[in-house]
């Protein structure tokens, strides 16, 4: 599953801005659930990234056909944080986003997202991941986000 010519960006998935602790994000729990859900995945806990202290979890998830999805989760405050997938196409990010929505967060309507592409273009609005639907619907929404941002 690779999109050779697709535009890639870093997607950031987070709880709603007005309820930042909605996920009750615990990095050790996220690490355990990633390795359980994605056979062959690897995780590494770390800390103190960037100018502000934050705990971090880096991970690599196999997508098949020797394609890997690289990610990073950070918690600058207890139970508050976000999960990013790095330099992925919409189709590559969608399976992880679906898993995050369906198997990790406490409610499917709590997954908001943006992208590095959008932020670099001055758009700091978060989109809401569809609370239902499959990987194809999520990939379509992520692609719509990229397309809307790329036109800006």
Instruction: Kindly write down the DSSP assignment for every residue of 2-57, as one continuous string.
Output: --TTS--EEEEEE--GGGTTTT-B-HHHHHHHHHHHSTT-EEEEEE--SSS--EEE
Cα 14 from chain centre: 8
Look at 91 and 47; give whichever has higher pLDDT: 91
Q: Is the pLDDT of residue 144 over 60?
A: yes
Q: Is the pTM of this model over 0.75?
A: yes
Which tops the pLDDT comparison, 3 or 58?
A: 58
Chain segment 67-90, per-residue pLDDT in tens: 899 999 999 889 999 999 999 999
The rounded distance, in Å, linking the Cα atoms of 27 and 46 is: 10
- At 130 the pLDDT is 93
Q: How confident is the model at residue 151 (pLDDT cuts 50, 70, 90)?
A: low
127 touches 145 (CB < 8 A): yes
Specify the pLDDT at position 152.
53
- At residue 52, the pLDDT reads 56
Look up residue 41 and give its two tokens: 């995945």
Q: CA 107 to CA 19: how far, in whole Å? A: 13
- 99 has a pLDDT exceeding 60: yes
């Amino acid at each position: 599953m690779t999109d050779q010519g697709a535009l890639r960006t870093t997607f950031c998935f987070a709880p709603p801005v007005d309820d930042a602790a909605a996920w009750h994000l615990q990095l050790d729990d996220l690490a355990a659930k990633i390795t359980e859900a994605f056979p062959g995945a690897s995780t590494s806990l770390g800390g103190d990234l960037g100018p502000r202290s934050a705990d971090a979890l880096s991970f690599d998830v196999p997508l098949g056909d020797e394609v890997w999805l690289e990610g990073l989760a950070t918690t600058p405050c207890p139970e508050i944080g976000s999960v990013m997938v790095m330099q992925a196409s919409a189709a590559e990010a969608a399976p992880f986003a679906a898993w995050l929505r369906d198997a990790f967060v406490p409610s499917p309507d709590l997954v908001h997202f943006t992208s590095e592409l959008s932020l670099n273009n001055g758009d700091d609005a978060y989109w809401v991941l569809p609370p239902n639907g499959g990987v194809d619907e999520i990939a379509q929404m992520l692609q719509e986000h990229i397309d809307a941002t790329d036109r800006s």
